[in-house]
Amino acid sequence: MLSHTIRRLEARLGVRLLTRATRSVSVTEAGERLLRVVAPRLKDIESELRHVTELSETPAGTLRITATEHAIDTLLWPKLAEILTAYPKLKVELSSDYALTDIVQGRYDFGVRLGDELSKDSSAMRIAPDLQFAIVGAPSYFAAHAMPATPQELTNHACINLRLPTRGNLYAWELKQDQSELNVRVDGQLVFNGIYQIVNAALSGHGLAYVPEDLARPHLESGRLLPVMKSW
C-alpha cells in the first residue's frame, strides 16, 4: 500500500513527510520540498517504464542474420517482409555469406546454411525440406559438346565450380539414383563463391552448373537452360 511505502521512506530519511490526523493528511515542509524535486521526474520515469514494457510485448531492436544468398531470397525474405510490416520498430540486418560463421563472435542472432555442417559449439534445426539440385547447361554449350549421360562423363566437360569459404575446397556435386550416391569432383575454367554467379555463367554457355532446382527452373521453362542427367 502507498501509506506503507511513505512510512518506509520517512523511516529511511529520518523526517516526517506527511502530517496525519484522524480525518486528514497534509504534506509537511520536508514533504513539499521532496515533491518539488521528484515530481518533474515522475513523468520521465513513467515514460521509461512504459517503454520497457513495450519492449517485452512488441518485437523491437535489431535482428542480425547471416545466410546464403539463396536462403535469403527463398526462405527468409518472404517471411521477413511480412514481419517488418507487422513490427515497424524491428530492424533486420542480413549478411550474405557461405562460410560457417561463428554466430557469437560475429554477433549474429542466427544463421542459415545448406546441409548439416556447423561451426564449433553451434546447434541447428531444420527450417526447410531437402534442397533439390539440378545439373544444367545452355543450348549454346551443347551446340559444341555432347550432353553427358553418366556421372563419369562429367569429367570430360567444362563444369562451373563453387568454392566453400570455410574449408577452401570445391563443392562436390552430390548425385543420387535409386540406392546409389556419388560425390563427383568436376573441373572447369570457372570457380565462384556464389550460386547466382554460377547460373549466370551457365546461361552464357561457359559450362555445366550444379545449382538449386528452383533457381534453375525459370530458365529451364524458358529453354535458356537444358537439364542434364535428369535421372540422377
Quick: pLDDT tens for 13-25: 788 877 877 677 7
For residue 202, give the nearest of 225, 232, 184 by alpha carbon.
Answer: 225
Q: Domain for residue 98, yes or no?
A: yes
pTM: 0.66
What letter does residue 98 receive in the DSSP assignment?
-
Ramachandran bin of 131, using left for φ above 0, alpha for ψ from -120 to 50, beta for the remaining angles: beta
pLDDT tens sequence across 125-137: 676 677 899 999 9
- Rounded Cα gap, residues 76 and 127, in angstroms: 10
Residue 109: predicted pLDDT: 85
Check the CA dihedral 161-136-181-184 and report its sign: negative
71/50: higher pLDDT: 71
24 and 75 assigned to the same domain: no
Which grid coordinates belong to 60?
Answer: 523491437
pLDDT tens sequence across 54-67: 655 677 788 999 88
Predicted confidence (pLDDT) at residue 97 exceeds the cutoff of 90: no
49 and 65 assigned to the same domain: no
Predicted confidence (pLDDT) at residue 99 exceeds the cutoff of 90: no
Cell numbers 515514460: residue: 47
Residue 103: predicted pLDDT: 78
192 and 222 assigned to the same domain: yes
φ, ψ of residue 23 in degrees (nearest 5) = -120, 10
Give residue 218's pLDDT band: very low, low, confident or very high (50, 70, 90): very high
Q: Residue 84 in contact with residue 92, Cβ under 8 Å?
A: yes
Segment 44-51 mean pLDDT:
68
- Rounded Cα gap, residues 129 and 109, in angstroms: 22
Residue 61: predicted pLDDT: 83
Q: Domain for residue 127, yes or no?
A: no
15 and 89 assigned to the same domain: no
**Domain total for the chain?**
3
Segment 187-214 mean pLDDT:
96
CATH number, residue 19:
1.10.10.10
Print the domain residue range for 7: 2-56
Q: Domain for residue 123, yes or no?
A: no
Domain boundary among 39, 56, 73: 56
- Rounded Cα gap, residues 44 and 38, in angstroms: 11
103 and 139 assigned to the same domain: no
Determine which helix (DSSP H) or strand (DSSP E) holds 79, and give its type and residue range.
helix 77-86
State the burial class of residue 135 (Cβ atoms within 10 Å of its Cβ: 0-12, 13-18, 19+).
Answer: buried
List Cβ neighbours of 169 (8 Å cut-off, separation of 6 or more): 163
Q: Domain for residue 120, yes or no?
A: no
98 and 153 assigned to the same domain: no
208 and 142 assigned to the same domain: yes
Which grid coordinates belong to 120?
Answer: 564449433
Q: Residue 81 in contact with residue 72, Cβ under 8 Å?
A: no
111/145: higher pLDDT: 145
Residue 26: predicted pLDDT: 79
Predicted confidence (pLDDT) at residue 118 exceeds the cutoff of 60: no
- Rounded Cα gap, residues 215 and 230, in angstroms: 16
H-state helical runs in 102-209: 139-142, 195-203
pLDDT tens sequence across 172-200: 999 988 888 899 999 999 999 889 999 99
For residue 97, give the nearest of 168, 164, 174 by alpha carbon.
Answer: 164
List Cβ neighbours of 26 (8 Å cut-off, separation of 6 or more): 18, 19
